[in-house]
Amino acid sequence: MAIVTGAGGGLGRAHALALAERGVRVVVNDVGGDGSTARAVVAEIVDAGGQAMASSADITDVTAVQQMVENAVQRWGRVDILINNAGILRDKSFAKMQLPDFRKVIDVHLMGSVHCTQAVWPHMVEQGYGRILMTTSASGIYGNFGQSNYGAAKSALVGLTNVLAIEGANRGIRTNALAPTAATQMTDGLISDEAAARLGPETIAPGAVFLVSEQAPNGVILGAGGGVFAVSQMVETQPVFLSESQRTAEVIAARWDEISDVRNTHVLGSAFDQTNLYVELAERESTDTPA
């Protein structure tokens, strides 16, 4: 059984339909139209022979989210998949950004995903299986003008993905992130008609289905759009040790080309991996450096 938030249209609808086509029972969550958008997608699924139920729970409301999950578990016995897809835009340059708009975007994208994930987590732990998909964005990975609130929320979801991938690994729970480039209601007026024609939500849904499948990886960020798929990773350059006498801003500036050299990068599995790497390098270099 899967829960897909923001599934009344766009990407969420495409994800829900794609899962239903594979026999997955789907909770279609959307607050749009007082629940009518969610019910319309449920009707599509049921008419095609699938099983689905609608939910108009507001994902920023913890109680409503918990009730949505409990209703689904009571009906179908378990929850295997959660796709955190719901989102909004409140775009403006940072200088013109109003704090209520900043908080609202964080509340929907980040805290909404937290609420839903926390509600399903104990069920997944108990059954020893779960697949969670966060929806991040290139704006959160690389930045985008006028989207400080959206970019901050989407970047936070990458951090949440990384931590949950670690915490859930030994419990049968895999957590990944999807960074879609799609033509949806959220992108109206932001991209050309020609680009929109190539970036339909249905071109991205296969990536979402894979990331919540039994064969899913863990802790991956998958970019998707127009039938194109690519993995984004956080990498680190080869660390450079500076002796105590060299630890000045001037020495860092002088050796910046070496410190920032991306020709020899590596991927770290966790924050402690980085800490251990730095400690080992410092110990080794301190031992090798003459007094």
Residue 161: count of CB within 10 angstroms of its CB: 25
Closest by Cα among 72, 164, 174, 76 to 130: 174
129 is catalytic: no
Closest by Cα among 206, 185, 223, 176 to 82: 176
Mean pLDDT lowest among 36-40, 42-46, 269-273: 269-273
Using pLDDT thresholds of 50, 70 and 90, give the confidence band for residue 227: very high
Mean pLDDT of 192-200: 79
Residue ranges of domains in the chain, CATH in brackets: 2-232 (3.40.50.720), 244-288 (no CATH)
Q: What is the dihedral of CA 167, 169, 172, 175, to 10 degrees?
A: 80
Share of the chain above pLDDT 70, in %: 96
Contacts of 235 (CB under 8 A, 6+ apart): 262, 265, 266, 267
Quick: pLDDT tens for 65-105.
Answer: 999 999 999 999 999 999 999 999 999 999 999 999 999 99
The pLDDT, as a whole number, for residue 85 is 98
Which residue(s) pair with 81 in the sheet?
2, 131
- Mode of pairing for the β-strands spanning 130-135 and 173-180: parallel
Type of residue found at 218: N
pTM of the predicted structure, to 2 decimals: 0.92
Q: Are 144 and 188 in contact (CB under 8 A)?
A: no
Mean pLDDT lowest among 70-79, 128-137, 272-281: 272-281
Choose the catalytic residue: 129, 142, 150, 278.
150
Q: Is the pLDDT of residue 253 over 60?
A: yes
Handedness of CA 86, 92, 93, 94 (dihedral sign): negative
